[in-house]
């Protein structure tokens, strides 16, 4: 069997390829199996490490192909957009690099809730993921202006919590259109949050720009 691994996402600043598979070739006797170890060694902060993995076996009719993805942070505690549309979006390898040049220590996210759902008075849930990829100390997260966001129809749950090393916690932002007025408007707020702890200890600011449509009250 032969392994083909083609990196198609973020590139390391070093000459080392982000993804590696060991062994890349192996002789597997009939009736036996062979373990492969796939690893990611990223050296650039990015959500967009990706590779195409293919295993070629002589006379094998069934295709064995996978798309693998990875993420890398400069610190152990992190937050990212875990919604389906974000995870399936086209690769943007410049996102974190540009961000780092503008204002280090701040993570920017944004979400505009669908206007059509608001016109039907339907609640829509958006998911963020807070995690801690370290192996030592736990971390904490909190969003300080959740009450103000709630007045505009954005509910954050949980608004704070602890993240153990190696764990991830989903944070759900639910938008329910509040009662409208004579004219339709867009409610907008920047949800202010913070991440702290981890190993090594880190302190980061999180800003999530939220927009939700408020239909006119007829």
d(CA 49, CA 27) in angstroms, rounded, equals: 29
DSSP letters for 39-103 = EE---S-EEEEEEEEEEE-TT--S--EEEEEEEE-SSSEEEEE-SHHHHTSPP-TTHHHHHHHH-
**Cβ neighbours of residue 158 closer than 8 Å, sequence gap 6 or more:** 169, 171
Query: Which tokens is 183 given?
Result: 């004219």
Token pair 């999180």 in the structure block, residue: 206
What is the spatial distance between Cα 53 and Cα 160, in angstroms, rounded to a whole number? 38
Q: How far apart are CA 177 and CA 113, in angstroms?
A: 10
For residue 25, the 8-state DSSP code is B
Per the DSSP assignment, residues forming a β-bridge with 210 are 111, 189
Q: Which residues are paired to 192 by β-bridges?
A: 207
pLDDT tens string for the chain (218 positions)?
888 999 888 889 888 899 999 988 888 787 888 888 999 998 888 878 899 999 888 877 788 899 998 888 878 888 988 887 776 655 554 544 444 444 567 888 999 999 999 999 999 999 999 999 888 889 999 999 999 999 999 999 999 999 999 999 999 999 999 998 889 999 999 999 999 998 888 899 999 999 999 999 87
| Residue 53, both tokens | 């993995």
d(CA 81, CA 206): 12
């Amino acid at each position: 069997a032969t392994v083909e691994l083609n990196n198609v996402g973020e590139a390391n600043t070093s000459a080392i390829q982000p993804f590696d598979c060991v062994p890349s070739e192996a002789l597997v006797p009939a009736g036996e199996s062979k373990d492969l170890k796939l690893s990611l060694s990223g050296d650039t902060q990015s959500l967009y490490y990706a590779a195409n993995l293919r295993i070629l076996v002589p006379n094998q009719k069934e295709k064995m192909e996978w798309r693998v993805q990875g993420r890398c942070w400069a610190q152990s505690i992190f937050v990212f957009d875990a919604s389906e549309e974000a995870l399936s979006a086209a690769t943007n390898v410049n996102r974190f690099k540009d961000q780092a040049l503008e204002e280090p220590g701040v993570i920017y996210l944004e979400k505009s809730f669908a206007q059509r759902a608001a016109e039907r008075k339907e609640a829509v849930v958006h998911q963020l993921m807070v995690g801690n990829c370290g192996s030592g100390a736990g971390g904490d997260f909190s969003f300080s202006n959740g009450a103000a966001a709630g007045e505009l129809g954005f509910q954050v749950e949980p608004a704070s919590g602890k993240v153990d090393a190696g764990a991830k916690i989903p944070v759900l932002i639910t938008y329910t259109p509040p009662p409208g007025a004579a004219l339709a408007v867009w409610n907008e707020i920047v949800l202010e949050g913070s991440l702290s702890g981890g190993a090594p200890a880190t302190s980061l600011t999180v800003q999530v720009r939220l927009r939700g449509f408020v239909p006119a009250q007829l």
